[in-house]
């Protein structure tokens, strides 16, 4: 097996290590080695990992015994995908309900827990994420390495404009920036008036890199202009995003790049999979790379959870290779993506998600037999001349037929002089891309609230739909 830089389990990284500033790669061998060599190393790691989880976790031991798997059975990656049962978020919630607060898949002593994060719990029992001190160091190292691939370097200012709460995205970006020896600026988001203050601080600080959700970056650009700032004058060169689809959606990505004059990079899988940047673009590659030696990613058929061939759509199934506290082993994401074989334009030999993550499979809706993802609508309207920056997707059934209404906010000039042209262009483009007819309503600028976090644009409300249909008609 080819030697790989700082490759051990449990992971141990040299906290003083930094690559040569001229190098494109943090770990040149691990990132550019032949995929077959990397897969042999990953298989050896999976044997270590499953044995570790078997010994340390009643959750995994019970689930694997029920599924007829034992770590001694693992002789190939095909064995891993065919014999190791998948786990779902519902399994994690049930385990934490039974063994609070962290579930019986916590594989370290409770005293070694260093960070606690979690889901909001607004729709049910929250899920608690317990991260050990050594794991937090490994997460910081992985994020620093991936951010290096984005082109971020020691000494760069990194402006983190995401909510600092249970949300792991902001904390993960901050940990990576600190490990990379950057000037970390944990600005946050969410408080009233904070977006205008962010514009002021960006104008003062002139950071080289910026992290948030795509929705917040677009909202910030609007607020900044209203405050008299030109977002391009902030001097941001690299903008990286997670939390929602968008940074790989051409219309959204291009609007952000145009607003700030920066390179837009998509990253992020799931909070449970932190280091969540395990799927991420680079300075040279659009879409996302699957950093397989950090988190092993399979893109699988959503029904069988067997890996689909490159060039096909499926749901990512993730396995930690550098986590000891709550390792996720074949966690089903529930997202939809398409993957291709490497290498990427950056020379890294990882598989690629050229269009990023489309969105959650359960966010998909069916209109007259056609499967539609909200990100597809986002991509269409974001590229329309005269688009005002927000929209809503209204779904209903009138009689025996599914109906789709897209309410598109117009820019000020377009609303005053070209609302009909915008409506017709939107309807035509939606039909071409989605393969179905959609009603379109153009609404005035500022109709829809902006968000400091993740955008929620889909409404399934029959009364709202009927009122809109009367106005459109």
Question: For residue 281, which of 419, 89, 146, 458 has the smallest C-alpha distance?
Answer: 146
Q: Can you give the length of the chain in residues?
A: 473
- pTM score: 0.82
Domain(s) of CATH 3.40.50.12780: residues in the chain: 131-360
Q: Where are the alpha helices (DSSP H) in 261-394?
A: 374-382
How many other C-beta atoms lie within 10 A of the C-beta of residue 266?
25
Question: Coil, helix or strand for 80?
Answer: helix
Domain(s) of CATH 3.30.300.30: residues in the chain: 364-472
Which token pair is 128? 């608690």
User: Domain 364-472 maps to which CATH number in 3.40.50.300, 1.10.10.10, 3.90.550.10, 3.30.300.30?
Assistant: 3.30.300.30
Name the CATH architecture for the domain at 131-360: 3-Layer(aba) Sandwich (3.40)
CA-angle at 460, arms to 458 and 461, nearest 5°: 130
Which token pair is 187? 């600005």
Question: For residue 49, which of 266, 447, 320 has the smallest C-alpha distance?
Answer: 320
H or E element at residue 359 = strand 357-360
Q: How far is residue 34 from each of residues 6, 8, 31, 278, 348, measured CA to CA in Å?
A: 18, 19, 9, 19, 10
DSSP output for 177-229 = HHHTT-EEE-----STTHHHHHHHHHHHH--SEEEE-HHHHHHHHHHHHHTT-
Question: Coil, helix or strand for 72?
Answer: helix
- From CA 205, how far away is CA 229, in angstroms rounded? 13
Specify whether the CB–CB gap between 394 and 405 falls below 8 A: yes
Instruction: Please state the separation of Cα 134 from the chain's center in Å.
Output: 24
Which token pair is 411? 């820019």
- From CA 267, how far away is CA 215, in angstroms rounded? 14
Question: For residue 114, which of 89, 82, 136, 96 has the smallest C-alpha distance?
Answer: 136
pLDDT in tens, the chain (473 residues): 457 899 999 999 999 999 999 999 999 999 999 999 999 999 999 999 999 999 999 999 999 999 999 999 999 999 999 999 999 999 999 999 999 999 999 999 999 999 999 986 655 678 999 999 999 999 999 999 999 999 999 999 999 999 998 889 999 999 999 999 999 999 999 888 999 999 999 999 999 999 999 989 999 999 999 999 999 999 999 999 998 888 988 888 999 999 999 999 999 999 999 999 999 999 999 999 999 999 999 999 999 999 999 999 999 999 999 999 999 999 999 999 999 998 999 999 999 999 999 878 877 777 766 778 787 888 889 889 999 889 998 887 665 567 889 999 999 888 888 888 999 999 999 988 888 888 999 999 989 987 766 777 887 654 454 555 555 54
């Amino acid at each position: 097996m080819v030697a790989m830089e700082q490759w051990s389990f449990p992971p141990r990284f040299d906290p003083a290590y930094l690559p040569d500033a001229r190098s494109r790669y943090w770990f040149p061998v691990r990132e550019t080695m032949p995929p077959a060599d990397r897969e042999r190393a990953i298989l050896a790691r999976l044997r270590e990992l499953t044995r570790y989880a078997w010994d340390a976790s009643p959750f995994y031991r019970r689930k694997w015994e029920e599924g007829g798997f034992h770590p001694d059975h693992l002789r190939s990656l095909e064995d891993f995908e065919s014999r190791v049962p998948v786990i779902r978020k519902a399994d994690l919630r049930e385990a934490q309900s039974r063994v609070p607060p962290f579930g019986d898949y916590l594989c370290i002593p409770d005293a070694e827990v260093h960070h606690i994060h979690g889901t909001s719990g607004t729709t049910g029992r929250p899920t608690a994420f317990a991260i050990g001190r050594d794991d937090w160091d490994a997460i910081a190292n992985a994020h620093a390495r991936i951010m290096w691939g984005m082109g971020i370097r020691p000494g760069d200012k990194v402006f983190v404009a995401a909510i600092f709460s249970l949300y792991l995205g902001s904390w993960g970006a901050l940990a990576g920036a600190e490990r990379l020896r950057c000037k970390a600026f944990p600005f946050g988001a969410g408080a009233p008036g904070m977006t205008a203050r962010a514009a002021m601080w960006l104008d003062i600080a002139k950071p080289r890199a910026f992290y948030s959700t795509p929705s917040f970056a677009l909202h910030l650009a609007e607020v900044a202009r209203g405050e008299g700032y030109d977002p391009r004058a902030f001097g941001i060169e690299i903008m990286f995003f997670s939390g929602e689809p968008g940074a790989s959606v051409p219309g959204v990505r291009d609007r952000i790049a145009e607003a700030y004059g920066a390179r837009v990079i998509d990253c992020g899988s799931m909070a449970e999979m932190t280091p969540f940047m395990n799927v991420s673009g680079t300075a040279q590659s659009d879409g996302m790379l699957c950093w397989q030696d950090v988190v092993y990613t399979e893109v699988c058929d959503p029904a069988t959870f067997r890996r689909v061939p490159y060039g096909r759509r499926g749901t990512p199934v993730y396995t930690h290779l550098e986590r000891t506290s709550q390792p996720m082993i074949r966690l089903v994401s529930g997202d939809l993506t398409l993957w291709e074989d490497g290498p990427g334009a950056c020379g890294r030999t990882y598989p690629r998600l050229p269009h990023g993550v489309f969105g959650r499979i359960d966010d998909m809706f069916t209109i007259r037999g056609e499967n539609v993802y909200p990100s597809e609508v986002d991509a269409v309207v974001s590229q329309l001349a005269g688009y005002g920056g927000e929209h809503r997707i209204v779904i209903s059934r009138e009689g025996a037929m599914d109906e789709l209404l897209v309410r598109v906010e117009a820019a000020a000039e377009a609303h005053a002089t070209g609302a009909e042209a915008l409506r017709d262009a939107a309807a035509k483009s939606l039909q071409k891309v989605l393969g179905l007819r959609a009603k379109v309503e153009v609404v005035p600028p500022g109709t829809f609230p902006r968000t400091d976090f993740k955008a929620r644009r889909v409404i399934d409300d029959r009364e709202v739909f009927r009122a809109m249909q009367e106005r459109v008609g």
